[in-house]
Structure formats: structure tokens, C-alpha cells
Structure 1
Amino acid sequence: MIKKIFAGIIVLAYSSALWAQDDLLASLEAEQADQKMLVEATFKGTRLINGHSIETRKKGVMDFMISHRFGTIDGGFYELFGLDYAQIRIGLEYAVTDRLYVGLGRNSFEKTYDGFAKYRVLRQSTGKGSMPISATWLSSMAIKTLKDPENDLAFTDKLSFTHQLLIARKYEKLSFQIMPTWVHRNLIGEEDDTNDILAMGVGGRVKFSQRVALCVEYYYQFEPLNNTTTNALAIGFDIETGGHVFQLQFTNATAMVPSSFITQTTNDFFEGEIHFGFNISRTFQVN
């Protein structure tokens, strides 16, 4: 009799513990539903491939970035599929706040210096007061310092400007981004049609594992700079290794500055005029 009573007490106590655990889990789920949770890592780095992603770094983080584009692979074995030639951009970027991000760089393509500022306007979130998208504004300025022996250009003639609204959404392992873009060039050549170019960029990222993802990026020009330019297309892979984000890519764009690769790409991706290249990023907490 005593054993039966003791067994009953144990069963009752165990059942009460399970009910209490269920109530606690339900309470925690209700609390999480009421809390606003930011969606993190829509993209792994601040670049989608050639262009910017909506991402910025955390406040006080400095990012040293090297971008490399070899020659086109249609040069064959004689040019080692483009490895005999290269364009490079070196940049240094800093997160002033969690939302404000600035940077400077130098691209060997036409000896171009560039600077940019980007600000996170919206953050995708879940829970109470959720936001379905992320949005970041980007403004950049570039100056080409390649000497022109036939023309003595003023400083302002060498300037170009790019403004973009980057809009993105993350769906578990899939991220998607659109990039309405306006590029203005202060001076254009005789063969060029317009100082102002409107373009629409689209891109995405599919995550295969914790460290590897496939990325695609395409920019369509509504009115090209001239009849020799083509739309920039890029396909790449993100590989995360500790503090590094390593991006391998194939693109028809030679330049690595927005005003240049969006409006001055002349290679045809589907004719084999493709550059193999990479971006490598190393971050440092400095503040």
C-alpha cells in the first residue's frame, strides 16, 4: 500500500513538472512574439559581388578590403586564362555607428579614387512592430586620375557620382536585393549619349552551408552611356573563414567602383569575356 502511494506521489510530481515546463515554454514563446528581433546576416559581407549589399559593420569595426580582377578567360592558355593581367582595388572602411558606414579606396582601373557613405534606413525584423525589409542608402563619389595627353581636364571634370537605394529581404537560406541606381558623370566623351544614367540592379544569395553561399548580381541600364557598353553580370561564391570573408567571382565587369562598372562595362559575359576575381575582407575592432 505504501509503495502504491509513493509511486502515485512520484507520478503526480512528474506530471506537475511537465505541465510547469509547458507553461514556461509557452510563456517564453509569447514573450519572444512581443519582442522585436532584428534579422541578421542578410548577406555575409558589405559587398554582394561588384556592388554593395545592404550590410554595414558594427560600430567601431574597421574593414580592410582587397578586390582583384584578372584578365578575361577567353585569352586561353597563352594568357593563362586571364592571370597574366589584373586590376586591383584596395579599400579601408569604418563603421561610425551601427547604421553609418564610410570608406575610401583606390582602383587601378583608370587610376580611380573613390569614397562612399552608406546608412541603414530600415532593418528587417520579426516580432512586435516587425519590418519586412532592410533598406540602406548609398552615396559614392569617384575621381579618375589617369592622365589624358590630349586634354587638360579640370578637377570637377574628372568626378562622377552614384546614388543607390539598396532594398533586401532574407528568407532563411535565401536573400534577395534590388538596387535602384542613379549615376551622374560631370563630363562625358563625344561618343557618349548622356551624363545621367539610371539603372536597376538585382541580386541574390543562396546559403549552402554555414560557411559557403552562391551569389548572383546583375545591373540593367535603362539608357546606356554609349552603344558599346553592356550590362554588368556577376556570379560568385562567399566563403567565410574566421575573421575573413573570401568571395570568388566571375564577371564581365573590369572596374570595381560603382560609377565605372555599372556604366563602363564593355565585355560580353556570354561570349566568354569573363574576368575571374576575388574580394577578401579582414575586419578589426578599433573602438
Structure 2
Amino acid sequence: MQKLVAGLLLVIVSQIGYAQGDLLSLVEKNDTIKRERVTNAFKSSRVINGHSIEFLGKGVLDVRILHRFGEVSSGISNLFGLDQASMRFGLDYGISNNLTVGVGRSNVGKELDGFIKFRPVAQTKGPGSFPFSIVLVSGITLGTQPWTDTTRKNYFTSRMDFYNELIIGRKFSDRFSLQLAPIFIHRNLVQLASEENDVYALGIGTRFKLWKRIAFVADYHYIAKGLDKKIYKDPLSVGFDIETGGHVFQLHFSNSTGMNEKAFITNTTGDWGKGEVRFGFNLSRVFTVGRHH
């Protein structure tokens, strides 16, 4: 009898151990299904002109060269715009995976610019996922050209302009991403008394992957209020992203000359319908300069 009881106890203990092991394997299997951040909605922190919902990694430095030629409609005498050039040189740095700062200098208007970009919410997939990313951008520009009118009292603050932007974007599939970006710009000084200091616009950016390393991108800003639409046009840029290792090389056409938010939103006069567009390229090269986690 004692042997029989001992045998039954051994069987029961072994079955309990087997059941616990089976339950543990189920728990471990469920733990592998975790919420993940959706990445690569765009291949750069910029669509073309405007910011994208993408961020640099922590400790990553992005050296950006934006180059834009003259108007294609200028004809063969100007080599269809290639005889002229405008550019912006910028340095962007990832303080964290959700916080980037950047500075730049444009030869158009001799402007310095700086921005801070923060992502409070990222698009995720898996349990408890969130369907889109939310990004906040705040920037400042500073003109350095000599004053055109030296007979009046000119203030340093008159050289400054500001912008604030909210970007809402989503990667719908491996091929297609879309974002909307309402933006507010305040100019401390305008050229004419009839002009408004505050400008409101709505940006739309999209990316469609064509091949493994090539994607079509478009960047459009609708000017809702603050500018004379008979003079100023909505900036529209279209182009292609080409991935080459650590580089993202972009070829595009745009009706804007300026390459910071204040410049391309408030100073675009080129008309696509009249062929007043410019060929250009953006080059981005990233370096890991800080400790990456």
C-alpha cells in the first residue's frame, strides 16, 4: 500500500510539474508579442522642404546639404537654371530618440535658423498600439543682411521670425506613408504695412516606395491665411529618395527657393503653371558621435 501511495504521489507531482511547465511556455509565448514602434515612415527627418515624423537616433549627427538651382524656365542661356544656385547647410543632432535639435544657414536672405523637434507619441503596432505619430516642432530664423533703410531705427528683434508646427503622420504600409502638418509663422517685421505678420498654412507630405532603395516623395503647403495669393504661391516639391548606404540622396523639383519653414512658406513666388520651378538635390549623411542605446 505504501508503495502504491508513493507511486500515485509521484505521478501527481510529475503531472503538476508538466502542467506548470506548459503554462509557463504559454506565458513566455505571450510575452514575445510586444508593442513595437513603427519606423521608416520616411527615410529622412525631412520630406523635401518640411519636417517629417522621422527622428534621428540618440547620439546621431545628420549633416545636411540642400541645393537648389535656378528656374528651369530661364532657358538655355542660363542652362535651364544650372548657372544659379541656392543652398542651405545644416547640422541636426539626436539628443534622444524622440528629441532632435538643429541649426542651419541659408545663402538665400543670409538667414540662420534653428529648431527643436519633439515626439510625444509614436505610431506603434501590437498590444495597446497607437495608430499614428504626433510631432511638435518649434523654430526660429535670423536674417543677417544689412538693413535696407538705415535712416530709421532698426531693432535686432526685427531680424527674427518664428514658427510652430504640429505634425500628425502614419505609415499605412511598407510602401505608403502620409502626414498632415498645420503650421503657424510669425514675422516680426514685414515689408509693407498691408502685409500680415501671422501666416497660417497646412502641410501635406507623402512617400511611396517604388523599389527597394528608391521612393517617390511629395511636399505641399497650402497657405490658408496671411499672404497675398496673387503674389505668393503655395510651395510644392516632388522628387525621389535614393538610399545609398549611410546617405539619403534626394532629387527633386520645387517652385520655392527658400529652404527653411519661414522662407519657403512666406517667400515662394514661383508658379508651376508657368514653368517657374527649380531642380535641386538634398544630401543627408549621418554619423554616430555619441553613445547610442
In structure 2, do the counterparts of structure 1 residues 188 and 36 end up closer, same or farther at CA, with 3 Å as the change threshold? same
Residues 99 and 120 in structure 1, CA contact (< 8 A), matched pair in contact too: yes
Corresponding residue number in structure 1 for 2:209: 207
- Where does residue 231 of structure 2 map in the other structure? 228
Residue 104 (structure 1) aligns with: 103
Distance in 2 of aligned mates of 1:30 and 1:250: 50
User: Which aligned pairs between 1:247-286 and structure 2 lie closer than 5 A?
Assistant: 247-286=250-289
How far 1:30 moved relative to its partner? 6.3
In 2: Cα distance, 1:99 partner to 1:139 partner: 14
SS at match of 2:96: coil
Q: Which residue is equivalent to 1:186? A: 188
The separation in 2 between residues aligned to 1:88 and 1:68, in whole angstroms, is 4
Query: Which has the higher mean CA deviation after the structures are superposed, 77-86 or 188-197?
Result: 188-197
4+ residue runs over 4 A deviation? 26-30
Separation (CA, whole Å) in 2 of partners of 1:276 and 1:219: 18
Which position in structure 2 is the counterpart of 1:217? 219
Counterpart amino acid of residue 168 in structure 2: I
Q: How many matched pairs? A: 263
Q: Which amino acid aligns with 2:99?
A: L
Normalising to structure 2: TM-score of the pair? 0.86
User: Normalising to structure 1: TM-score of the pair?
Assistant: 0.87
Q: 1:147: how far off?
A: 1.6
Distance 1:169 1:101 in 2: 19
Equivalent-residue separation in structure 2 for 1:265 and 1:119 (angstroms): 27
Q: 2:58, 2:94 within 8 Å by CA — same for their partners in 1? A: yes
Distance 2:81 2:26 in 1: 60
In structure 2, the residue matched to 1:39 is 38
Any gaps of 5 or more consecutive residues in structure 1? Answer: 1-22
**In 1, distance between residues paired with 2:284 and 2:28?**
37
- Map 1:106-145 onto structure 2 (within 5 A): 106-145=105-144
The equivalent residue for 2:167 is 166
Question: In structure 2, do the counterparts of structure 1 residues 33 and 193 end up closer, same or farther at CA, with 3 Å as the change threshold?
Answer: farther
Q: Show the counterpart of 1:92.
A: 91
Distance in 1 (alpha carbons) for counterparts of 2:233 and 2:194: 14
